[in-house]
Amino acid sequence: MIKAEQFLKPAWVRRQIELALPLLPPGTAAALQLGEVRLVEIGAAGHGLVEGAPGLLAYPLTLEGERVGELLLSPPAGNAAAAETCGGLLAHALQGMLETEHGRRSVARESLESYREMALLQRAVTDLNHSLKPAAVVAALLKEFDGRKNVADYGAVFLSGADGGYDQELSFGADATEVFARIKGSRLFAEKTASETGDILNDLSSSPLWSGEEPDLQALLWLPLASHGERLGLLVLASRRAEGFSAADLKRAQTLSSVAATALRNAQLYAAEQKMFQSFVRVIATAIDAKSPYTAGHCRRVPEIALMIAERAHQADSAPFADFVLDEDQRNAMEIAAMLHDCGKVVTPEWVVDKATKLDSIANRLDLVAMRFEVLRRDALIARYRALAGGEAEASANAAYQERLRQLDDDFAFLEKCNLGGEFVSSEHIARIESIARQLWSDADGERHPLLSENEVYNLSVQRGTLNPEERKIIEDHVVHTISMLSQISFPRSLRNVTEYAAGHHEHMDGRGYPRGLKREQLSIPARIMAIADIFEALTAPDRPYRKPGKLSWAIAVMHRMKLDNHIDGDLFDLFLSEKIYLAYAQTHLAANQIDEVDVAPYLAGQVR
């Protein structure tokens, strides 16, 4: 219903009537009634200015064929004829004004609606273009039709499958998946959706291609999602309304589909690039793992542990991790950093990475030492025969020979033990190594050499582990290489922290780590997580050159000691224990004989020192 009372201002109407009154018989009363509102009333006292009153002149006012009000004139009795002409003129003026205002308002309303539609489209286009994931683009497109009154009851996006057909990706509407499965099974779908352009089919029941697959449906709208000549998918809308879809609905859907197709293509390209980058990362991680049989799987397992810890820190809603957020970008960055944290090892020589014993170089030189001992044993045998030939008593020659063999066996067993690096080598041990080294043996040319070379003495005298200081430096330098390699990758903004996360895995909380000697506050939480994941994986790895696979309780005890020494982050280690992350990991990755009982309560209560 048109509210005409809002179209005319009472003061303006009053002025028009006042201008007309002198032309009317004196004593004429006038009123303008619009809808339920008596807008103006002049000289009404004593007059019956109501419809049907005797002698009343009523001039109807209309808009779009609808009666919206009337001009009422009540001339003195007997003067109706004199008032009629002027009344008609006044009514004509009012009608004209009403129509002008009505027209102006219609134009304004249409402009506003167009503007609203434009604003909605602009917002939709922005949403579509901001979506970097194919699924998000599809969701953004359907959102523009879902819940939009009087347009579609159902909507679905199908994506082009590898077999050239369409796979339903997302839909809206009651039981939409089943509804669209039935629509997809129709001949109409097969024939119409193969065309290059979209269209509307209202009055579905009249189509010979439609067998009532979905009886409630009255109309379908379908549009291919194509970009750069490639058909990426299909938008299908369905309606139960008898009036179906309008040309305006199709136009709007075309605009949105064309934007969505471009956004979808960009998102698919972006996803493909991400996938390619991730596969490169996996190739590098596999190459590092493949380089040493002893650390096989390290670069694959460290990310799992790191992400398990990060996930729990993210879920924690109280201090110290209340502010730690693991969103998708962060998760990606951590996973890539964990896979690449040891990428510098590609330039570390294998014989250092895998150095199982102190005399390992490219080959284990203990075998050479063993041969020299064998030479000395034979020298002893020759000495025995010479003694006997020289007339020495057999008992005495045998005793000297046996004593020499015992001494050689004892020395070699001692060197063998030193070579393993399992125990601390004291200064007394070093003195004995040097003394053994001073014994001489003869080569094939009869040349005399010390039993151990200088380099062999140097390596056997390593007090802890198997690496000498130079080799330890080579090993530690793998992080320097990691940093230098990762610094050359131009990471996107979302992955800008990868290098920092990967570079900190050998830093200690007290600043005594390497390569940069950073302290806890200089390391991000992900970098600190990396250190714990790296150590836990190494301690529980199935095979290491220098020891057997560690049991869970032993690994936890070692790491607890590291926490007390301010080597690893105490808060993260406590989270690792309290959330039983070690156990969840162990159950899927460790051998059953490694998983023993761990009582974490005393560790968490600070009772273990």
Stretch that binds Fe ion, among 95-103, 167-175, 240-248, 533-541 (CB under 5 A): 533-541
- Contacts of Fe ion in 435-494 (CB under 5 A): none
Is residue 289 a contact residue for Fe ion (CB under 5 A)? no
Q: Is residue 156 packed enough to be buried (19+ CB in 10 Å), middle (13-18) or exposed (0-12)? A: buried
Rounded Cα distance, 132 and 494, in Å? 13
d(CA 585, CA 552): 10
The SS3 assignment for 181 reads: helix
Which range of residues in 75-83, 308-316, 483-491, 529-537 is near Fe ion by CB under 5 A?
529-537
Which 326-345 residues touch Fe ion, going by CB under 5 A? 342
Query: Do residues 237 and 152 touch, judged by C-beta distance below 8 A?
Result: yes
- Which residue number, 525 or 530, has a Cβ lying nearer to Fe ion? 530
For the chain, the straight-line distance linking the first and the last C-alpha, in angstroms and rounded, comes to 86
With respect to Fe ion, which residue has the nearer C-beta, 95 or 540?
540
Tell me which of 471, 507, 534, 579 binds Fe ion, using CB under 5 A: 534
Nearest distance, CB of residue 302 and Fe ion, angstroms: 6
CB of 530 to Fe ion, least distance (A): 8
Nearest CB to Fe ion, comparing residues 201 and 503: 503
CB of 263 to Fe ion, least distance (A): 40
Which residue lies nearer to Fe ion by CB, 61 or 530? 530
Which CB, 113 or 543, lies closer to Fe ion? 543
- CA dihedral over 95, 97, 98, 104, signed as positive or negative: positive
Of the candidates 15, 16, 14, 42, the one whose C-alpha atom is nearest the C-alpha of residue 28 is: 42
Q: How many residues bind Fe ion (CB under 5 A)?
A: 2
Q: Smallest gap, in angstroms, from Cβ of residue 233 to Fe ion?
A: 43
Distance CA 428, CA 406 (A): 21
Taking the complex as a whole, how short is the minimal distance between the CB of residue 503 and Fe ion, in angstroms?
10
Query: Rounded to the nearest whole angstrom, what is the least distance from the CB of residue 478 to Fe ion in the complex?
Result: 6
CA–CA gap between residue 549 and residue 541 (Å, rounded): 6
Least Å distance, CB 185 to Fe ion, is 54
Q: Closest CB to Fe ion among 70 and 342? A: 342
- Separation of alpha carbons 485 and 474, rounded Å: 16
Nearest to 237 by CA among 165, 156, 306, 291: 156
Applying CB under 5 A, the span of 170-178, 227-235, 413-421, 528-536 interacting with Fe ion comes to 528-536
Inter-CA distances, 354 with 348, 468, 472, 483, 540, Å: 10, 13, 12, 22, 17
Specify the residue, 102 or 544, whose C-beta has the smaller distance to Fe ion: 544
Is 500 or 534 the residue whose CB approaches Fe ion more closely? Answer: 534
CB of 306 to Fe ion, least distance (A): 11
The closest alpha carbon to 102, from 5, 194, 205, belongs to 5
Number of Cβ within 10 Å of residue 27's Cβ equals 14
Contacts with Fe ion by CB under 5 A lie at: 342, 534
